[in-house]
Chain A
């Protein structure tokens, strides 16, 4: 399919909207860099899956939502989505630190960022498993006869799990308002997706279930936005689920311990040339919508927010030891 390039699309948008997209991506980038740095200093432990390189996917797609009702659910590479729904950098970084002020009170960590008020339903650690959850979440809109949609994100590694296939089938037979977004960053951990997939066009994986698919340049935030907006409209108005394959790339390893020996420096460099932030920035600059000074100011604010989040996390208290026994069970709701 032919896609319009960003320099053509950009004419349809006002400057404030574009600045917002750029601003979110820059903040995401700087916060992830800070997280990586703090991981190196052992302030953050365990797994830490950075989103650097993929920013346009979360930013562009979530921009197409009405966050007063629509819901988002993703896998463990979730920092970007959390920021994109409007969660504060401070509560995200504090959660990475495992602090009591974190969005999940230090119980979830990097992989389990939640903020129900903002429509962020996690942060899930079992590859593909949450795709079934997303489908059931979306059913509630239909059940309650309310307007709403779920965006369900997962990686190319999740698409061969049974949960993906079973969910797509359910979404089709029950006309569920959902958009499945496969963030194809080319590698399931260290495995090139082409080595383990019967098809290299992942957007076609919904075809046998009658679910339309579309391949999108995931480095182009406006292409992501437009494709998602159309899919969201179809889901809400017609009850048609869609599978979007966002072709993207992560610059860092799968997690912090991954040296990335499965790919070449040249390949990484090729993708860096298509960097989603630089792409939007260059198109906006060329169109007279952004000056270099304005960009520098934006970047400065993002760095300051990232620094502040690390400081907030550092100065936040550890959870009380007794809290480990809390939230295993919800209180009884015998008259619920």
Chain B
């Protein structure tokens, strides 16, 4: 299998779906002539023209609502937000329009649209450019939310997202764009609502999603050195959520740590931790632990920003706690 970057995996998914379905088009800031702020859409303008690859003004509410309107009338847009931080300018459009249209029209109007872009902290970007915002999207019924952490998952999930008849929030990460992984030549799709066990193990279940996956796998390797065999579950899809895979694992391991780079209050991580606590109560040998970012805005200083976020060390500390080590 060929090794490609996460960036290239997303580009391939968009390209393949655009050539497969004439109704698919992409719009956003710098997606066309500039080839994408993170080069995800490189080459697409040349291939498909400005009718289907549209540079927008810096006008998130306007072009997001525009995309939703195009979906109402039968197209299948992909809206690229340069980052999810800027999606807050368009939050009304997503929550009040995209997520509600099918329901309040009594089932008449579908919204087949993908909102995608980098989410979560990168480096040295400070408070307004370093937010992991999955929780505020996952909270909304009517939206689907996915957060792939490998090139393979990114490509398969994005193709599914583009073919889905619902609004899908597709969370990438700036730091992940250059990550490499194996992606097959032949076409494949990954269904939503299926978590992936990224490492099999028996002693403890580590549940995560998105960018922290890599450090969770590193933590699992450290645990192995201590004689602890950790299972790592990558949710991939936040809404719908694959509760079954999580519970089956925890019922085998009897111990669980949830890792989420968002803030701890009312987050995807805290929700998953609560679900496990309630639904695996009799099988747990220790209270579920949550490793999140600190409950503060992101500081600029590098040492401070690293201290704020989850780390291998923090994961190991939490794991040892539930293992009583």
Contact = CB atoms under 8 A, between A and B. Distances in A.
B62 interface: yes
A207 to B, nearest CB: 18
B64 A132 contact: yes
Given A107-B103, A143-B25, A170-B56, A137 B62 contact: no
Interface in A222-270: none
B105 A129 contact: no
A333 B93 contact: no
B144 to A, nearest CB: 7
Nearest to B54: A174
Interface in B68-113: 68-77, 92-93, 96-97, 101-112
A114 B75 contact: no
Interface in A110-137: 112, 114-116, 121-126, 129-137
B164 interface: yes
A329 B166 CA distance: 6
Contacts, number: 162
Nearest to B162: A336
A125 B95 CA distance: 12
Interface in A287-336: 326-336
A328 B65 contact: no
B96 A336 contact: no
Given A112-B104, A140-B74, A163-B62, A169 B163 contact: no
Contacts of A134: 69
A174 B112 CA distance: 22
Interface residues of A, number: 51
Given A143-B70, A333-B164, A336-B165, A170 B106 contact: no
B68 A133 contact: yes
B103 A140 contact: no
Contacts of B101: 122
B142 A112 contact: no
Given A129-B92, A329-B144, A332-B165, A102 B106 contact: yes
Interface in B2-48: 21, 25
A82 to B, nearest CB: 12
B108 A114 contact: yes
A330 B163 CA distance: 12
Interface in B279-309: none
B141 A328 contact: yes
Contacts of A154: none
B68 A132 contact: yes
A86 interface: no
A333 B112 contact: yes
Given A108-B105, A116-B108, A329-B166, A143 B142 contact: no
A108 B106 contact: yes
A133 B69 contact: yes
A162 interface: yes
A41 interface: no
Contacts of A166: 57, 59, 61-63, 65
B97 A136 contact: no
A105 interface: yes
Contact of B72 (A112, A136, A167, A330): A136
A21 interface: no
A1 interface: no
A108 B103 CA distance: 8
A182 interface: no
Contacts of A102: 106
Contacts of B25: 143
Contacts of A163: 61-62, 65, 93
B108 to A, nearest CB: 5
A139 B70 CA distance: 7
A106 B106 contact: yes
A133 B100 CA distance: 13
A35 interface: no
B104 A129 contact: no
Contacts of A115: 108
B277 interface: no
A169 B69 contact: no
A131 B54 CA distance: 19
A169 B109 contact: no
A333 B69 contact: no
A71 interface: yes
Nearest to A134: B69
B126 interface: no
A336 to B, nearest CB: 5
Nearest to A165: B62
B73 A132 contact: no
Given A140-B75, A143-B70, A329-B142, A170 B62 contact: yes
A133 B65 contact: yes
A164 to B, nearest CB: 9
Q: Which of B61, B102, B104, B107 has the most CB of A within 10 A?
A: B104
A143 B51 contact: yes
Contacts of A108: 104-106
Nearest to B25: A143
B223 interface: no
A121 B164 CA distance: 21
B179 interface: no
Given A163-B61, A169-B62, A126 B96 contact: yes
B165 A173 contact: no
21 contacts: A104-B106, A108-B106, A114-B108, A115-B108, A116-B109, A121-B109, A122-B101, A123-B104, A126-B96, A132-B63, A132-B66, A133-B72, A133-B97, A135-B62, A136-B65, A137-B69, A166-B61, A170-B59, A328-B103, A330-B111, A336-B76
Given A71-B73, A116-B105, A334-B189, 16 more contacts: A107-B105, A114-B104, A114-B105, A121-B72, A121-B109, A126-B92, A130-B97, A132-B62, A136-B66, A137-B73, A140-B75, A143-B70, A166-B61, A169-B59, A170-B59, A335-B163
For the complex of A and B, list the 3 residue pairs with the smallest distance between their C-beta atoms, beginning with the closest. Answer: A132-B65, A136-B69, A166-B62
